[in-house]
Amino acid sequence: MTRCHQSVTVTTCVWMLLSVIGGHLEFNGTSVQTVHRGKSVNISCKYNTSNDTASFNVELKTNNKLCTFMKSNHSWVNQSCKDHIRFIPKIEEMSFEVSNLQINDTGTYKCFVTRTIPPPSVLLGEEGTFVQVIAHPNVSVSHVKASDGFHTILCLSEGFYPSALEQAWMRNGRFQNISLTYNINKTNSDESFTLHSYLNVSDCTNYSCWVNHSSLSQPMILHLSPADCYENRERFRDCHIWIVLFISALLTPVLIIAVMCCPWRSCQQPVDVRVPSELILQSELKTEALYSVLSDHHPANSHLHNTDYSCISE
């Protein structure tokens, strides 16, 4: 696995980068500078002096004109210049400082020095510089889900440029079978790239993510903490609990309304109360026995059959 150092000149590493980003293989008279995103670069402007030159222009261009200065009567006049570009005048070797470079600023910058007075216009100098803006990946490892006894862990590299990036899983310091990973490579709105690598494992112990990129001075190794793995599993469980509580909160008003309405409806309907025949029989027996004792002194409840009342005395 190859590695490109941060300070890059015209070396094999540069040619590899150029071939990746678009096949810039011929740079006759063009220097190459590699700059990290957000940093600055100086574009030099060499030219041949002329004793009869009274006035000349210095221009910096890419696909569009970026900055133009004019020298007249030994003073410099800003014709038009972008806010992030600063002109640095020097004798025989002027330069432009381009600051806060972003990925889409990658390209060839050309400086032109043109004599305007006396006419006709004469090109005094032209110099090209290819600027390669690179961005290092922001790498993180995490546990994303667990099911069927297996854990799924994720290694995420975000915001890197150019797209060539090496990413692999390690366990106990040894590389794992790359075929076990599932990779998604996509382009972000700022033209950087993001790479996801998933791995199904039986546990979360001693796993690391290894990442190498041309913007890094050496590969990065991030370790997955088993505590983070189990913490995320607890979060999933807590999430399910919150879902249950949320659904319960939605159903509670419905249940309350049902409980309040059902008794009110039941009160509007006639109630059919049925008394068991055994209770009626016992009540009649007690009433007629009492009547027999107080007045008639004859066996009462004569209409009841097969009943012996010999225990009642006169």
φ, ψ (nearest 5 deg) of residue 13? -65, -40
The answer to whether residue 59 scores a pLDDT higher than 80 is: yes
For residue range 87-136, what is the model confidence (pLDDT) as tens digits?
Answer: 999 876 899 999 999 999 999 999 999 999 989 999 999 999 999 999 99
Q: Is the Cα torsion angle 156, 192, 129, 96 positive or negative in sign?
A: negative
* Nearest CA-CA partner of 142 in 230, 237, 239, 238: 230
* 143-159 mean pLDDT: 87
CATH of the domain spanning 136-270: 2.60.40.10
For residue range 251-271, what is the model confidence (pLDDT) as tens digits?
Answer: 777 677 766 665 544 445 554
For residue range 209-229, what is the model confidence (pLDDT) as tens digits?
Answer: 999 999 999 999 999 987 766
CATH of the domain spanning 12-134: 2.60.40.10
φ, ψ (nearest 5 deg) of residue 133? -90, 125
Whole-number mean pLDDT of the chain?
75
- For the entire predicted model, the pTM comes to 0.61
Q: Tokens standing for 177?
A: 């079978």
Identify the residue with better confidence: 56 or 305. Answer: 56
| pLDDT tier, 54 (very low <50, low <70, confident <90, very high otherwise) | confident
Q: Domain residue spans in the chain?
A: 12-134, 136-270, 274-314
54: left (phi over 0), alpha (psi -120 to 50) or beta: alpha
Same fold, 12-134 and 136-270: yes
Instruction: Determine contact, residues 155/203, Cβ cutoff 8 Å.
Output: no
* Nearest CA-CA partner of 150 in 207, 225, 204, 200: 200
Q: Which pLDDT score is estimated for 8?
A: 31
Within 8 A by CB and 6+ apart from 125, the residues are: 45, 46, 47, 48, 111, 112, 113
Instruction: Determine contact, residues 73/125, Cβ cutoff 8 Å.
Output: no
Instruction: Burial-class residue 273 by CB neighbours within 10 Å (0-12, 13-18, 19+).
Output: exposed
What 3 state SS string does 39-74 have? CCEEEEEECCCCCCCCEEEEEEECCCEEEEEEEECC
